[in-house]
Amino acid sequence: MRLLAILLAFLIGGATAIVLTWYASARGNGFGAVQIGAWTAWPKAGTADADPYARAAFARSGELPLELADGIAFIATSDDDGRALDGRCDIRIRGRLPQARLWTLTLYDGRGRLIDNAAERYGFTSAEVVWNPDRGVEIVLAPRARPGNWLPTGGRDRVTAVLRLYDAPVDVGSGAGDRSSMPTVTQERCP
């Protein structure tokens, strides 16, 4: 009977630890996430006030967060409807971007690596993208070439888009921005 009780305590303990850790790692880079549409940023993770979960996440991945005074990274792993970004679809990123001195949009595979392609094109920057007349942009991430701003997805089933705004005004990361301040993310022509 006693053995059973000890066993139960350890079982519940192990299960609790696993569930909590899973939940924490699924949250991404700690608390204080700013979510605008499909985009999520962790402004505090790039400061000396980063919480223990953010520190643990970065230590484990080996990534260095963008210092908030340098820039802020918005990550999209799903579209506006909450469907995971699938590199076999046409993913359309469209709209105006928050004010910043410059921005870059980069596409990664599910493990955070760049996606191999013959054009060696891994992203767009504000300096090279073709802007719409209304000062917005439209970028299509798709397996096959598209006219306009096209990023090859290599047909990967899971992709992540990261929009980095450099030397941006402080309010960009404060969560004050409404939905229209970030581009929409939609998926079409999925297999």
Q: Which residues bind other proteins (CB under 8 A)?
A: 1, 5-6, 8-17, 19-21, 24, 45-48, 50, 52-53, 55-56, 58-71, 101-102, 104, 106, 108, 111-117, 120, 122-123, 125, 127-128, 162, 164, 166-167
The nearest distance, CB 12 to other proteins, in angstroms, is 3
The nearest distance, CB 102 to other proteins, in angstroms, is 6
Closer residue to other proteins in complex, CB, 101/158: 101
The C-alpha atoms of residue 137 and residue 124 are separated, in whole angstroms, by 11
Q: State how beta strands 123-125 and 149-152 pair.
A: unpaired
Q: State how beta strands 159-166 and 71-76 pair.
A: antiparallel
Helix, strand, coil in percent for the chain, rounding step 5: 25, 30, 45
- Nearest CA-CA partner of 34 in 26, 43, 25: 43
The nearest distance, CB 168 to other proteins, in angstroms, is 11
Closer residue to other proteins in complex, CB, 39/108: 108
Instruction: Give the number of C-alpha atoms closer than 13 A to the C-alpha of residue 93, restricted to the C-beta side.
Output: 33
* Structure letter (DSSP) for residue 171: G
Q: Which two structure tokens, joined as six digits, stand for 169?
A: 């005004």
Closer residue to other proteins in complex, CB, 112/148: 112
Question: What's the gap between Cα 46 and its chain centre?
Answer: 15
Closer residue to other proteins in complex, CB, 66/182: 66
Question: 9 CB contacts (<8 Å, ≥6 apart)?
Answer: none
Closer residue to other proteins in complex, CB, 25/180: 25
* CB of 80 closer than 8 Å to CB of 185: yes
The nearest distance, CB 126 to other proteins, in angstroms, is 8
Closer residue to other proteins in complex, CB, 46/95: 46
The nearest distance, CB 34 to other proteins, in angstroms, is 17
The nearest distance, CB 163 to other proteins, in angstroms, is 11
